[in-house]
Amino acid sequence: MAVENKQVLLKGYIEAMPKETDMEVKVSEIMITNHNPPKGSSSILVKNLYLSCDPYMKARMQYYRRSYIPSFVPGQPIEGFGVSQVVNSDHPDFKAGDYVAGMTGWEEYTLISPNHIQQLRKIDLDNDIPLSYHLGLLGMPGFTAYVGFFEVCSPKKGENVFVSTASGAVGQLVGQLAKLHGCYVVGTAGSNDKVDLLKNKFGFDDAFNYKDEPNLVAALKRYFPQGIDIYFDNVGGEMLDAALRNMRNFGRIAACGILSLKNLSDPQSFYHLNNVIVKRLKIQGFIQSDYLHLFPTFLEHVTTLYKDGKLVYVEDIKEGLENAPSALVGIFSGKNIGKQVIRVV
C-alpha cells in the first residue's frame, strides 16, 4: 500500500537565525508493506506522532565541523527527537505497535537504521503521563535540567538560584527542582504572561521580564542583594555578563545554551570576566548525552515527582507538519509558552 509521507526538508545551510523559508514542506510516497523494512536490515519503520522543537537544532542547520552533533543534510528531512509508533520491524527488540522515543525524521514515516535504533527507548503507556511529555518533562529537555542542576551545579539547600529563559522546556523544570531542593529561585522571561507563569504556575520565588530592565546588572542586584550561588544559563550574552557581576564567591554557572548568539561569525564580548578569578567561579558547559548513564535514575525520580503532584509542566503544541517550520523558528523569538511540540496529523 502506498501512502503519503509529508516531510520537512532543509533547503540549504543558514548563516544566522533560521527562517521559515529555510525549510520546505514536501509530500512524497512510501510503501507500507510487511516487507519493509527489508528482511535482514535490523531496521524499523515508525509512524511519527510528536516532534520536538529544540534550540540546538539551529546549530544543525549551519555547516559547522566542530559541533558535537553533525549538521543536517540539505535536501533531506530535518531530524529531531520524536515520539513514534512502530509500524513494521526487522529488529528483535521492537515489534509493531511499540511506542518509542528518540531521534527520528521530521516526516510522517521514518525508516530508522540500526545505528539510530541504539538511541531509542520504549515507552510504556501510562494514562497519567501524556505521550508528548517524553519529549519534554521526561525527554531530553527534562534530562538536561536534571543533570545540569544536580550534576553540574552541585546545589545546596538554601542557595540562591537564577534561571534564564525560565519558562522554556528546560528552565521551567530547573526552577521547580531547585525549589524542591530548598533553594531560593528567581527566573527571567521575555513577557509578562511568562513571568506570571513562573511565579504562579511553577512556584518560583520571584521573576522578571528582562525586556523591561534597562540595566541587567542592577536588576540582578535587586533580586539577589546577597548575590547568586547558581546561574543556570540558557542565553549567554548580556545576561551571562550581568550574572558574572552578581555571583557570590565559589558560585557555579551551568552553560546550557546560548540563544543570544545570532550567528557563528558574530562573537560576543564580556566585560565582567574578571569575576571568574576574583570570585573563584566555576563555569561549565555540558551536554546531556554525556550523562546518559543517569537517565534511568532521572526517569524514575521525575516521574514520581510528577505523579505525586510536585511538578507541573507546560507544553505549546502546534498541529500538523505543515506548521513545523513556523514552530521551530518561533522558539528563537519566544513565541512559544512552555515546551514547543508538533503533533503530526
Give me the pLDDT at residue 216, please: 97
For residue 278, what is the enclosing H or E element?
helix 274-278
Give me the pLDDT at residue 259, please: 83
Q: How confident is the model over 68-77, as pLDDT tens digits?
A: 788 999 999 9
Give the separation between CA 337 and CA 339, rounded to whole angstroms.
7
Give me the pLDDT at residue 265, please: 66
Q: What is the mean pLDDT of each run of 10 residues along the chain (345 residues)?
A: 91 93 93 78 95 94 81 95 96 95 96 89 94 97 98 98 96 98 97 97 98 97 98 95 97 92 73 94 96 97 97 97 97 94 95
Give me the pLDDT at residue 264, please: 63
* Alpha-carbon torsion angle 284, 264, 174, 185, nearest 10: 80
Q: How many CB atoms lie within 10 A of CB 122?
A: 12
Whether 229 contacts 159, CB under 8 Å: yes
Give the separation between CA 97 and CA 94, rounded to whole angstroms.
9
280 Cα distance to chain centroid: 29
Query: What is the domain class of 141-289 according to CATH?
Result: alpha beta
Query: Which residue do the cell numbers 520546505 mark?
Result: 24
Q: How confident is the model over 47-99, as pLDDT tens digits?
A: 999 999 999 999 899 987 677 788 999 999 999 999 999 999 999 999 999 99
Query: Where do the structural domains in the chain lie, given as residue ranges?
Result: 2-136+313-343, 141-289
Query: What is the domain class of 2-136+313-343 according to CATH?
Result: alpha beta
Give the separation between CA 41 and CA 89, rounded to whole angstroms.
9
Query: Which residue do the cell numbers 540582578 mark?
Result: 220
Asked if the domains 2-136+313-343 and 141-289 are classified in one and the same CATH topology, the answer is no
Surface-to-core class of residue 193, CB atoms within 10 Å of its CB (0-12 exposed, 13-18 middle, 19+ buried): exposed
